[in-house]
Amino acid sequence: MGRLFGTDGVRGIANAELTPELAFNLGKAGAFALSKENQRPVIVIGKDTRISGDMLENALTAGILAVGGNVIKVGVIPTPAVAYLVKYYNADAGIVISASHNPFEYNGIKFFSGDGYKLDDDLEERIEDMIMRGIDPNSHMTGEKLGRCLDAEGEAADIYCKFLLSTIDIRLEGMKIVLDCANGASYRTAPAVYRDLGAEVITIGCDPDGLNINDHIGSTHPEKLQQKVVEEKADLGLAYDGDADRLIVVDEKGLIIDGDKTICICAKMLKDAGQLAENKVTATVMSNIGFHKYVKEILGAEVEVTGVGDRYVLESMRKTGCVIGGEQSGHIIFLNYTTTGDGTLSSLQFVKAVKASGKKPSELSAEIEIFPQVLVNASVANDKKNAYKDDEEVQTAIRAIEEETAGSGRVLIRPSGTEPLVRVMIEGSDIERIHQLAQELADLISKKFG
């Protein structure tokens, strides 16, 4: 697999790239790296609904137990729930088995530290180094030194739901809400929370079978949700991805409100309440020009820009004291409540913003002008993702596009952190023209480095 850890843990096709042997070794190396002198590490493990989850969960568990660590299995549960439960159970670390929005045949393993944040790079590198060099931290531990599986204190899903309910101080009687849970990890928790708040809840994507996670459903495929909202004459629709750490909203007209607009709407709520800490909003380089204009001109706030990936958003927020940030894709972090992106929590804050405004979601969305944006993937060899930076032909093409879109758009080229792709993004006022430019540039990059 080359380097194990990408921007969001270790991922690959289950039982081909991400094998039980690798999961076992990740469990051993992770538990060893996290252990303290004369103290057994306690690690919380959660997973989404993929068929490979059981296999990887048991392999990870075996690795942890083999080096004397203890495991608390919390079953199928959203990624952000594990980040919360690690602190709740006073554990040393958490592990999530999920490949987020990817198809069911993929899976991933992601570590959280004891304070609910993703592992620091140095710890990831230590774990990876042990595996890549074949270092066995303790292959002959026997007897009472072996670890064991511990019973969780209370039902983990209920504990997480109570936390979510503590983040909102309004009732939702009279609201009709459609939830799309992507046949993933939130299929029980999200509907339970909204029903507890008094909303009329209609669900789709809540029948996981191990194979249908993200299968033309969820935040990356909101078409069914759009249709259902219109059919049911609902007030809004909320879509999560497979591990429920991202959110896409659908307004009452069936139109999409993406992460950029959702962040803007929630940031305005915080600003109006005097809670927009440091008068800043954090976003990535992929955020739309319209996002920047709204935050600066309407909110009178600053935008802190980071690289793509919720871990980089979080790092920036922790440094600056900003309490809201995220990505266009729907990873949104409310740092005054949690330590990672949480689709359900973000949706609760969005609903709170809608109620506070007295407006319909479509009216709030219309206040934010989003410029046309085209994203085209260029297929490249994994070892050539950055070759475009030093290629004069590609750089000349980029400069020509920048000159053409000057003042009304921009060009952004970004290597994927998890796939053999280079992403070409162009913004501008003429959608047909920028699509043509993006496709031509992506084709050039693929031809040269594919």
> Taking each helix axis from N to C terminus, what angle separates 121-132 and 20-34, rounded to the nearest 10 degrees?
130
Total of domains in the chain: 3
Of 311, 331, 366, which closes a domain? Answer: 366
What pTM did the predictor assign?
0.88
Same domain, residue pair 286 and 428: no
Helix (H, G, I), strand (E, B) or coil at 252: coil
Using CA atoms, how far residue 392 sits from 90, 285, 380, in Å, is 53, 23, 17
Indicate if 391 and 355 belong to the same structural domain.
Answer: no
| Mean per-residue pLDDT, 60-78 | 96
Please give the share of the chain, as a percent, with pLDDT higher than 90.
82
Contact 95, 44 (CB under 8 A): yes
**Claim to verify: residue 310 and residue 410 sit in the same structural domain:** no
Q: What's the pLDDT at 1?
A: 43
Each residue of 92-136: pLDDT tens digit? 999 999 999 999 999 999 999 999 998 888 888 899 999 988 888
Amino acid 138: pLDDT = 74
Tell me, yes or no, whether 208 and 354 share the same domain. Answer: yes
Q: Residues of the chain with pLDDT > 70: what percent?
A: 98
Q: State the helix-helix crossing angle for 392-405 and 431-449, rounded to 10 degrees.
A: 170
Average pLDDT (145-165) is 93
Do 338 and 433 lie in one domain? The reply is no
Domain assignment of residue 380, given as a range: 373-449
Q: Is 104 left (phi over 0), alpha (psi -120 to 50) or beta?
A: alpha
- Per-residue pLDDT band for 311 (boundaries 50, 70, 90) equals confident
Residues 278 and 188 both lie in one domain: yes
pLDDT at 342 over 70: yes
Q: Domain with 399 in it: what CATH number? A: 3.30.310.50
Same domain, 357 and 219: yes
- Specify whether 170 is located in the same domain as 298: yes
Indicate whether 406 and 381 sit together in one domain.
yes
- State residue 36's pLDDT score: 72
Neighbouring C-beta atoms of residue 132, cutoff 10 Å:
15
What digits encode the pLDDT tens for the residues 259-283? Answer: 999 999 999 999 999 999 999 999 9
How far is 351 from 172, CA to CA, in rounded Å?
Answer: 9
Point out the residues that are catalytic. Answer: 100
Domain boundary (304, 337, 366) is at 366
CB-based contact 205:218 (threshold 8 Å)? yes
Helix (H) or strand (E) holding 21: helix 20-34
Same-domain check for residues 414 and 347: no
Q: Which residues pair with 208 in a beta bridge?
A: none
Q: Which pLDDT tens digit goes with each residue over 434-446?
A: 999 999 999 999 9
**Element containing residue 364 per DSSP (H, E):** helix 361-366
Q: Is 107 found in the same domain as 37?
A: yes
Give the amino acid at 189. Answer: T
Chain segment 375-406, per-residue pLDDT in tens: 999 999 988 999 999 999 999 999 999 999 87
Mean confidence (pLDDT) of the chain: 94
One domain for residues 438 and 334: no
Confidence of residue 38 (pLDDT cuts 50, 70, 90): low
* CATH number of the domain encompassing residue 115: 3.40.120.10
Which residue among 156, 176, 204 closes a domain?
A: 156
pLDDT band with cut points at 50, 70 and 90 for residue 37: low
Question: What is the phi/psi pair of residue 362, to 5°?
Answer: -65, -35
Give the CB-side neighbour count of residue 256, counting CA atoms within 13 A.
18
